[in-house]
Amino acid sequence: MTQVHDHTATDEAPQSSTAAPDAATSPAATTDAAPAINVEWLGEYLLGKWAKERKESRTLMSNPEFHRVDGLSMEDHRERVLHQLSLLVENKAVHRAFPIGLGGDDNHGGNIAAFEETVLADPSLQIKSGVQWGLFGSAVVHLGTKEHHDKWLPDIMSLKTPGAFAMTEIGHGSDVASIATTATYDADTDEFVINTPFRAAWKEYLGNAALHGKAATVFAQLITKDVNHGVHAFYVPLRDDSGPLPGISTEDDGLKGGLNGIDNGRLHFDHVRVPRTNLLNRYGNVDENGNYTSDIDSPGRRFFTMLGTLVQGRVSLDGAAVLASKLALNIAIKYGSERRQFTASSNTNEEVILDYQRHQRRLLPRLAQTYAMSFAHEEFLEKFDGVFSGRTDTDADRQDLETIAAALKPLSTWAALDTLQEAREACGGSGFMAENRLTQMRADLDIYATFEGDNNVLLQLVAKRLLTDYSRKFAGADAGAMAHYVADQVNEAAVNRTGLRRFAQNVVDFGSTARSIGYVRDTDSQRQLLTDRVETMVADVAGKLRSASKLPQAEAAALFNSHQNQLIMTAQAHAELLQWEAFTRALEKIEDKDTAQVMTWLRDLFGFSLIEKNLAWYLMHGRISTNRAQAITDYIDDRLLPRLRPQALDLVAAFGLTDELVRAPIASGIEAKRQNEARDYCAARRASGEEPVHEKDLKQKKRR
Amino acid sequence: MTQVHDHTATDEAPQSSTAAPDAATSPAATTDAAPAINVEWLGEYLLGKWAKERKESRTLMSNPEFHRVDGLSMEDHRERVLHQLSLLVENKAVHRAFPIGLGGDDNHGGNIAAFEETVLADPSLQIKSGVQWGLFGSAVVHLGTKEHHDKWLPDIMSLKTPGAFAMTEIGHGSDVASIATTATYDADTDEFVINTPFRAAWKEYLGNAALHGKAATVFAQLITKDVNHGVHAFYVPLRDDSGPLPGISTEDDGLKGGLNGIDNGRLHFDHVRVPRTNLLNRYGNVDENGNYTSDIDSPGRRFFTMLGTLVQGRVSLDGAAVLASKLALNIAIKYGSERRQFTASSNTNEEVILDYQRHQRRLLPRLAQTYAMSFAHEEFLEKFDGVFSGRTDTDADRQDLETIAAALKPLSTWAALDTLQEAREACGGSGFMAENRLTQMRADLDIYATFEGDNNVLLQLVAKRLLTDYSRKFAGADAGAMAHYVADQVNEAAVNRTGLRRFAQNVVDFGSTARSIGYVRDTDSQRQLLTDRVETMVADVAGKLRSASKLPQAEAAALFNSHQNQLIMTAQAHAELLQWEAFTRALEKIEDKDTAQVMTWLRDLFGFSLIEKNLAWYLMHGRISTNRAQAITDYIDDRLLPRLRPQALDLVAAFGLTDELVRAPIASGIEAKRQNEARDYCAARRASGEEPVHEKDLKQKKRR
């Protein structure tokens, strides 16, 4: 933090290699000498490490057989998606992550990359195939052992056994540890008895449960010899051709807010018996005498290890949210570059709506955010691949992966909904037409914010990790170091409170916007501002919660609860920093000068937007002076937006979304065609003298 | 502004009659002595001046025949809604605004009030009836004359003539003046020739156009004797029983993001001839010789007068948005008061989710906002009724009404979408089930943000009015006064820049949160902070745009454009102030002490949330010190949320939404029933000793 203060005092901004050049002094000048980005190269770069798999998937998803058809009944949509799943099998599109021995590729990153792209065809297709191979099948892979693999995976891979992933209950979603379904070992018959004790314990919202599922991986409290060993997964047959098996009841969730191509439903088990060996026993086993054993001694760690396999759901939702945002911006920016409305600068030619500042303000920061999300996702996916391939699979790696997932998935799924909605509104009535895809995509992605972990719950996990790391930092330190740190904090607070630092800034900055903005225009200063905020927020909330460990449980809970919002905001700040860091690292590998320049402006827009959003915090904590605060908004409005406006079409072109993937008529050029036809008609009328004179022009003439 | 500064200097907050009492020193203490609001009285109060009409409408809308049925095909939904419209006629529910002479009541406010409530049955029903009687019929009433009324209104009122309101074109929505359809007078036949010159001029998105419309009020450029007199409305027959009439082409818009009970479509006119007398000629007439006359000489004023009748669309969207927000909060707060998740304060009992601070942060400020919107809407509706009844119908009244409409409709329609989404997420997976209504309501209301005037365009109209008023303020002033004002501004800026005032505040406030918050806790201080912000923003942007009048058109346009975002934010601040003022005025009539207290807390939460949202502005402009800024957030978290939490159920109960109007299973008590069943089951198991011991508890015991 002291480094930040030093900057402040000297007002000398260090210029890093990726600093935004500030030669252009006016928007107009910038536009004249606009750099040209290498769209093809940038497109490849965005596809990332698994470009091949992404392209294969995009090619497949260009096939109309995979496309969502608007207006289908729920029943027809469900059948269509089930059929699409069989087409995925035929096209060998879904086995990349399965063991090589069974016909898979053991390619975890490539599998997720290809899987994410299916969202462009139909999110129902994505999620239903995710249920089948990413959850149901994956539970057998990761929680089962060789015998299970050999016995069940071939039919799961071929879709001969469609299956459900029966974890969530009506009573418990994100709090998996509290599920109430039981699996009690009966030594007399060498079976587990799966049972649903009450209504709240019905398995709920499960894809494949209402209609198509023939089996399920059922999560239940494993009980043997009167001891509950916590949540474990069991392979449970659900249906044969004549319907649900004895003891199993199903209900259909019916119509949902989206994803209606999936047959979500509920399951109830009335003392359903399965062989003991149906326990997926990689992390915990019961022998024929009912003795429980596990390689992981701690029940808590065992639980988190088993649940760790779920992280791939969060990876792929993060990636799908990035793609949906790219689709939305592709549509809105293309349309906004053609659509003309209102005559501002002349009497005859209407303005292209993307030339309006407000329209730029609505779309360009979201474009910057989407790039940040895209680069952050790529790093996340590589981390995931490292862990799941076993290359970098330590406990620390797994914990980091969980934290990254819990940080990025909330931000990107919320951002996708926000961007889809802004794009919808930016396209006006056209945006509301189903054929232009924005409304349906938004409806389908709505649930991404709360499934595979509720976003607010996930962010609390991140906050917990930040607090743990923070306290660890001081665990080995002696009392003196801690006291010194606290004293620093107090000093800093005192300085902030009297406003001395800010006062100094103001005197130096007075009247000089250019020098003010120099402070944050370079990479290092942006990093410092963003990092400093996260660190200060963590230290601040940690300080407030410090007494919790000494309090009785109820009081400690109340203390935590009174800072819950602050904890979540802290986690969000951390996640934003992760995105910004990923974007910044991505800049380093761009060699083409023009591309690097434009991408740096875009990264700056992302960084500045984050700082602007949290400006009150920066002002309150004395990190930015009043003048510098205003300069941030001015720099976005006067420099970055005008510079990026002419780049917008290229920046969405780099997403590489072909017409078959976009499929929105308003992004196809029809708007420009209509505009040109109208303009030509009017010009011809004026030229031929057929155009009637306007009453108001007549009146103006008379007045003269 | 100096008043604000005086407050700051003395740090003595004046206590108004509606100041929030601050006797309780801890949330716990507050909860213990929680006041009890008079729900019944408050419910009546919220229903407002047209409580009778609202109740009549709610009773009617409780009838299942009017309810949206999920999962209908578009075709069936359209037929159902058409049939519902005929039921509205049978029940005499839609004629309140029509002339008494024709069987109406000339009751404009009551008509809109009753109409708004229909959104609770199905937004498609609301909007389709709005098209028929509020737009198509209303155009004949307000733009036509007695002959037209007698000829067409009876069949419009009875639905014998379903009709479209053909104003918007593919090429022009919010910019109505630029529509390209022409109506050229042909003196030889005494007819108008309605023509669509090119594709962009097709009438678009019109309810009743695809299927049911037998006629339309078509807006077109009126041309006679080679002069274009601007946009006028014409009554044009569209279809007979065998289909579209000669020269008329129609297209179906097909599936939309919502409102699929309405048959939106396009219309094209190929030199369609209608009698001259089909011109709705209240504000402009053409005689048989082709001479144009109008009582309103200025074409601009004439255009705005004609379009003024459209304001009732904005009034009713504002009211419908308020109702949708009430519905969403009713569902989410009831569910949040029953749903339990995670054990925080004990090992056995899970917490009710509304007891979590974050959950309160998500729902309670939106509850406060909804109350503000509700009171603001009531004032808006009374203003509307005054103008349309002719009681208070001056030019100034109409302009004020337009500005209020342009300010409130954007805020409330955006807020409704935001609240519906937050409620959806707050209900987790249950919120995504169609039966719980949040997703469908959101999908239907999506378009409210851009129809009847795009929200961003409307806010610019507000900004324009603010600038006009501002410049008028100085129009009569001499140069000395203006200079003095500017000097004041400059002085103020200088003071802000050096941070002197803020410094003084900090010294006084240091360490005293209670005294800091005293500054804004009372009504007058909140008003001053909110008003000051609006006034300063207006003055600021006006100053920046001052040179525009001296610039060439293109440069002036560029100058305006470079401040477009600022203009819109200024308009938004003004609109928020309108809502806050309405809420504050509403407090004055509450006599019951407990109710007044709770409602004052709620108003404070609204005011504080506005200030917190714009905290950076207040800090940058030296209006709030750093400590006071932190105190605002603390006051929300530590005082207002804990005080309002126990009131939440009563506050939504006062919305008076019966089970028939809500119809969401999760708001019916089933969640509490499930929770209780689960709890009782577990308690009985523990009591009988059947509950297996947990492995982790065993391990803990062993370790001891």
Q: What is the pLDDT of residues B643-652, one digit of tens each?
A: 999 999 999 9
Sign of CA dihedral A288, A289, A292, A295: negative
- Give the distance from residue B194's alpha carbon to the nearest chain A alpha carbon, in angstroms: 15
Q: Please write the tens of the pLDDT for every residue from A187-222.
A: 999 999 999 999 999 999 999 999 999 999 999 999
Q: Which residue has the higher pLDDT, A349 or A241?
A: A241
| B385/B401 Cα distance (integer angstroms) | 10
pLDDT in tens, B48-89: 999 999 999 999 999 999 999 999 999 999 999 999 999 999
Residues A495-520, mean pLDDT to the nearest whole number: 44
Which residues have CB under 8 Å from B484's CB, separation 6+? Answer: none
Site from A256, A420, A424, A455 to mutate, B interface, most B CB atoms within 10 angstroms = A256
A513 in contact with B, Cβ within 8 Å: no
Contact A443 B443 (CB under 8 A): yes
Q: Which CATH number fits domain A2-17+31-44+312-653: 3.40.640.10, 3.40.1440.10, 1.20.140.10, 1.10.8.100?
A: 1.20.140.10
| Cβ distance of B357 and A563 shorter than 8 Å | yes
For residue B638, give the nearest of B35, B19, B18, B22 by alpha carbon. Answer: B22
Q: H/E element holding A335?
A: helix A311-336
pLDDT digits (tens, 9 = 90+) for B546-593: 888 889 988 999 999 999 999 999 999 999 999 999 999 999 999 999
- A677 shares contact with chain B (CB less than 8 Å): yes
What is the tens place of the pLDDT at every residue in B303-336?
999 988 889 999 999 999 999 999 999 999 999 9
pLDDT tens per residue across span B436-478: 999 999 999 999 999 999 999 999 999 999 999 888 876 554 4
Under a CB-based contact definition with an 8 Å cutoff, are residues B272 and B220 in contact? no
**Domain spans of chain A, in order of start:** 2-17+31-44+312-653, 51-309, 674-703
Answer whether A198 sits within 8 Å of B357, measured CB to CB: no
**Measured in Å, how far apart are chain B's first and last C-alpha atoms?**
67
pLDDT band at A553 (very low <50, low <70, confident <90, very high): confident
Which chain B residue has the Cα nearest residue A434? B256
Q: Test B71 with A255 for CB contact under 8 angstroms.
A: yes
Residue A485: the pLDDT is: 44
Tokens of A547: 């007494």
Touching A: B residues 366-395, CB under 8 Å: none
ipTM confidence score: 0.92
Question: Mean pLDDT in chain B?
Answer: 89
Q: List the 609-668 stretch of B: residues with Cβ below 8 A of A.
A: 615-616, 619-620, 622, 626-627, 629-630, 637-638
Label residue B345 by pLDDT band (50, 70, 90).
low
Residues in B closer than 8 angstroms to A620, CB to CB, are: 615, 619, 626, 629-630
B678 vs A198, A554, A692: nearest CB: A198
Split at pLDDT 50, 70, 90, the class of B349 is: confident
R_g over Cα of chain B: 29
Select from A222, A285, A301, A345 the residue whose CB has the most chain B CBs within 10 Å, as the one to mutate to test that interface.
A345
Q: What is the pLDDT of residue B701?
A: 84
Q: What pLDDT, on the 0 to 100 scale, is given for residue A475? A: 58
Residues A67-95 have pLDDT tens digits of: 999 999 999 999 999 999 999 999 999 99
CA dist list (Å): B472 to B478, B543, B577: 12, 14, 21
- Per-residue tokens: B267: 């219309």
Of B424, B449, B620, the CB nearest to A630: B620
pLDDT score of A341: 87
pLDDT at position A483: 47
Which residues on chain A are in Cβ contact (under 8 Å) with B502? Answer: 499, 502
Instruction: Tell me what pLDDT residue B521 has.
Output: 76
Mean pLDDT of the A315-339 span: 97
The answer to whether residue A507 scores a pLDDT higher than 50 is: no
User: Is residue A304 less than 8 Å (CB to CB) from chain B?
Assistant: no
Q: A101: distance to nearest CA of chain B, Å? A: 36
Q: What is the pLDDT of residue B396?
A: 92
Residue A1: pLDDT over 80:
no
- pLDDT value for B320: 98
φ/ψ of B332, rounded to 5, equals -70, -35
Q: Which among A400, A406, A408 has a CA at the least distance from the CA of A458? A: A406
pLDDT value of residue A349: 78
| A285–B contact, CB cutoff 8 A | no
Q: B220 forms bridges with which residues in the sheet?
A: B232
Residues of chain B found within 8 Å of residue A123, distances taken between Cβ atoms: none
Q: What is the pLDDT of residues A249-301, one digit of tens each?
A: 999 999 999 999 999 999 999 999 999 999 999 999 999 999 999 999 999 99
**pLDDT band at residue A173 using 50, 70 and 90 as cut-offs:** confident
Judged by a CB distance cut-off of 8 A, whether residue A186 touches chain B is no
In this predicted structure, the answer to whether residue A11 has a pLDDT above a threshold of 80 is no
Residue A516 pLDDT: 59
| Domain B2-14+24-44+312-469+520-653 CATH (choose: 1.20.140.10, 1.10.357.10, 1.10.10.10, 1.20.120.1200) | 1.20.140.10
Closest approach of B350 to chain A, Cα-based (Å) = 10
- Please indicate if any CB of chain B lies within 8 Å of the CB of A199: yes
Instruction: Report percent pLDDT > 70 for chain B.
Output: 88
Q: Inter-chain contact A675–B171, Cβ cutoff 8 Å?
A: yes
Q: Which residue of chain B comes nearest to A445, CA vs CA?
A: B432
Residue A102 pLDDT more than 50? yes
From the list A620, A677, A695, the residue facing B228 with the nearest CB is: A695
Nearest residue of chain A to residue B202 (CA atoms): A674
Interface test with B, best of A362, A619, A639, A686 (most B CBs within 10 A): A619
| Mean pLDDT value of segment B173-179 | 87
State whether residue A532 sits within 8 Å of chain B by CB: no
pLDDT at position B341: 87
pTM assigned to the model:
0.92
Task: Write down the pLDDT at residue A490.
Answer: 41
Q: Which fold has domain B51-309?
A: Butyryl-CoA Dehydrogenase, subunit A; domain 2 (2.40.110)
Asked if pLDDT for residue B21 goes beyond 90, the answer is no
Which is more confidently placed, B175 or B332?
Answer: B332
Nearest to A634 by CA among B573, B620, B489: B620
Q: How far apart are CA A585 and CA A372, in angstroms?
A: 10
To the nearest 10°, report the CA torsion of B280, B286, B289, B293.
160
Res. B42: pLDDT tops 50: yes
Asked if the C-beta of B513 comes within 8 angstroms of chain A's C-beta atoms, the answer is no
Chain B residues inside the 8 Å CB shell of A435: 254-255
CA distance A56 to A63: 12
- Compute the average pLDDT of residues A222-240: 97
pLDDT at site A350: 85
pLDDT tens, A374-430? 999 999 999 999 999 999 999 899 999 999 999 999 999 999 999 999 999 999 999
Other CB atoms within 10 A of residue B214 CB: 19
Task: Decide if A429 and B228 are in contact by the 8 Å CB cutoff.
Answer: no
Alpha-carbon distances of B207 from B210, B216, B317, rounded to whole Å: 7, 10, 16
Mean pLDDT over all residues of chain A? 89
> Among A346-355, A575-584, A631-640, whose mean pLDDT is lowest?
A346-355
Beta strand segments in A412-476, E: none
CA distance linking residue A685 with residue B11, whole number of Å:
69
